[in-house]
Structure 1
Amino acid sequence: MIRISKVKAALAGALAVSLLAGGAASAAHADTPTTSAPPSLESMYLWNNDETLLTKDSTIGWGQQVLGYPKNTDFTNYDTYFQAPSQAAQPYVFLSPRGKELQPLEWVSKAINGFAPGTQTVLTPNLAPENTAGVNLAAAKANGGEFSLGLAFTDQNAAAVYGVTFVHITVKPGGDYTYEPTTYQTTTPPPTGGDSKDIAVSADVQEPAGSLTFTVPTTSVALATAINTATQQSESTGSITGINVIDSRSTTNRKGWDMTQSVADFVSGANTIDKKNLGVTVTKTGGSAAATAGTAQAAGSAVYPSPFATSAVGVSTEPTTELKADLKLVAPAGTPAGTYTSKMTLTLVSK
């Protein structure tokens, strides 16, 4: 049986597929951002889960799920990422006293985050202080104070910090807080002996309609099982056809996409088959020439999560990519008979 659920987050559709084998914005206007020292690598604004912008007049709960974004508009496009310095190995969400952003030993708390697959970018991190951990976190909530909250780009263990992107927050005793959007802007010095003057330029830009979505043809799949006479192992096979990725975004916004797959262990009562025993072979059966299927995962040595399919930047005359997944579960020798269930999750994100 396959269960499917789709979650809209960062242009990601989460598809939950249960596998069965028998036998073995509404955006308000933000306030003018302020600068900070050390400088924030990029602008950062806080947004609600319902895609509304939080301003400096907003009261935010300690455990409220808030998302960081580099812009105060176009949040529903989910197409703007935070960029890490080239030497960074890991992003962390952190809470620190102001002025201590680059000193991890002085942080109040932290939580490991993740880069988008194959990049050094982060999309809409969850910055709720309650989701971080640290010995001084409870005191910060209870006593309040002035802190910095954001992303730190570090080595693998958060011992060295190569750059930070953050906002200033003011915490009231008990945990409620307000924030100030923070930005870092550089200016070009005038030539020696010369002068320079700034001219503010503004323009209203209209964005055409478009979207990045995907569909699946079914909510469940039962794999057919037989004993391999050569190996005397139970093998269950099946296919999911008609997985469609539809990229109808404009030329400017069509930046390509990545679809990844993850699989849970197969369970039957107290018995378990490791997810590595499920092989998945993806085939592109039609559509955009820019899209390609991911490398096949072999039963017995499969790795999850792993790429399912990807598309390069560019506009194709065919916006829909059609995909097929062939599944093969090989039960290890000695696996007790039974009906084993699992869940496959497909996640789609824009590059």
Structure 2
Amino acid sequence: MIKKNAIRLASVGIIAGALIGATSLTAQAAPGVPPAPVGSTGAYYLVDSGTGAPVVAGTVLNYSDDVSGSPVVGAVNDFANYFTGPADATGVKVFVTALGTERTPASYSSFAPSAFADPAAKTVLLPAGELDAMINGLPGQAAVKSAGGNYSLGVAFTKDNGVNIASNAVYYTTISIEAGTGLWTPYVTGVVTPPPPASGTFDQNLSATTIAAQDGTLNLVAPASSTTTLGAATLVNQLSTSTGDLGKFTVQDTRVVTAKGWDLTTSVTNFTNTADNTKTIDKKQLGVAAKAAAGTTLPAGVTLAAAQVAGSAVNPAPFASAAAGTAIAATDLDAGLTLVAPANTPAGTYTAKLTVTLASK
């Protein structure tokens, strides 16, 4: 038998392992090996409550053997080795429970209340680990002994009158109990790191046949309508001002081999009064501002030129360009147009022709 400790703290401790020391147990076949205690908050060892000797994993113990829990191996005479709970802990329980329910106090198969060695510091020293002393819980320690099986044995820091775990702090190990006799075996002590997930690699030789790339063409697609009518004139700074958009047009470049890039320029004629062709507006009065067509984004590698300002516009003028080394299948563009008539311009309808020219770099 494992020696009974003369001094038993109110707190109940849990430790995993096998006892080394005087025992009347006869070596027996161990129950089925349970899985390792993955998920314990920290290291959890079993020691002989009387001698402090570590309990070696694989030892077969009686249901009433007096063992205690420790965060380090063999700590019964070292009062510096405490389990330390979180700041929100208000209680302590030692427990036996089904695997995977360690953080659900209401599911503990059997348990016993414990106590802090120092309530302010939230410390517990050598919590008891006698299975037959855990008389609370359902189905209870007698039923656990009768049924046997694989369980977690541990110490939990609780809050909310023992209903919930404080800050996830639970220390435990896995044990296997023989049905009927209550003989039990701790299999793993300390903290077990989950094995890495199964994985694998392989090498595969690849083969592919290519053909020579073929250069495409450079094209300019005009707006859907051949006539752009500016909006109704309004007075801006007392001058007649008309605005509108040219309409979407597209540069198509599929020259993937040479990828020379391209330049766009614009030029416009003077505006002529439709009722009297002797009345004109100088072409410099038309402002032209390049932009991406509505609902599109300017592709990388395409640059818009600075806007030509009404009253000082030059002709011809740069509009947009694509850098050499780019071959953009479709670039959708538009132009904002502003016509400002000089103060001495007779009222009327005026027409002009705007030419957009595309050239390869």
- TM-score, normalising length: structure 1: 0.42
- TM-score, normalising length: structure 2: 0.41
Asked which structure has the greater CA Rg, the reply is: 2
Structure richer in strand, relative to its length: 1
Highest RCO, 1 vs 2 (Cα 8 Å, sep ≥ 6): 1
